[in-house]
Amino acid sequence: MKKENLNSAPWTEKEKAELARLWLMQIPVRIIAEQLQRSPSAVVSGAWRLQLPRQDEVSLHQHLLRSCLKCQKSFCSQGKHNRICDPCRAHPTRSMLDHIFVA
Ligand SMILES: [Zn+2]
């Protein structure tokens, strides 16, 4: 899971937002890569980390880039109900602890 840092600097929030915007407009990866001055593979892995849908599935849902309620990282939400990113949702123990601390 560390390969993301191999050949590219971390994405800024602005770049992530721009990536999501272009991706959801179904702009070809090659063009997005040129716009953001990243490699096409960096664009694809960036999209993957933001949980953006496959480009041929973009129109199936209304997607929106949100900040996760738990870790504050940007991710692609599939709707109002979806406010927590997949990695956080995959940790039920952690969310249980959060509830204990909140209560
Ligand atoms: Zn999260």
Helical ranges in the chain per DSSP H:
13-24, 29-36, 40-49, 86-89, 92-102
* Cα–Cα distance, 84 to 51 (Å, whole number): 11
CA distances (Å), 99 to each of 41, 93, 96, 102, in order? 38, 10, 5, 5
Ligand 1: centre distance to CA 92 (Å): 12
pTM for this structure?
A: 0.61
Comparing 96 with 65, the larger pLDDT belongs to 65
Distance 24 CA to ligand 1 centre (A): 21
Express each pLDDT in 31-86 by its tens digit.
999 999 999 999 999 999 999 988 888 766 677 888 999 999 999 887 778 899 98
**Where are the domains positioned within the chain?**
9-102
**In angstroms, what is the span from residue 75 Cα to ligand 1's centroid?**
8
In this predicted model, which residue has the larger pLDDT, 62 or 2? Answer: 62
Mutual angle of helices 29-36 and 40-49, in 10-degree steps: 100
Q: What is the mean pLDDT of residues 77-101?
A: 71
Q: What are the φ and ψ backbone dihedral angles of 42, each rounded to 5 degrees?
A: -65, -35
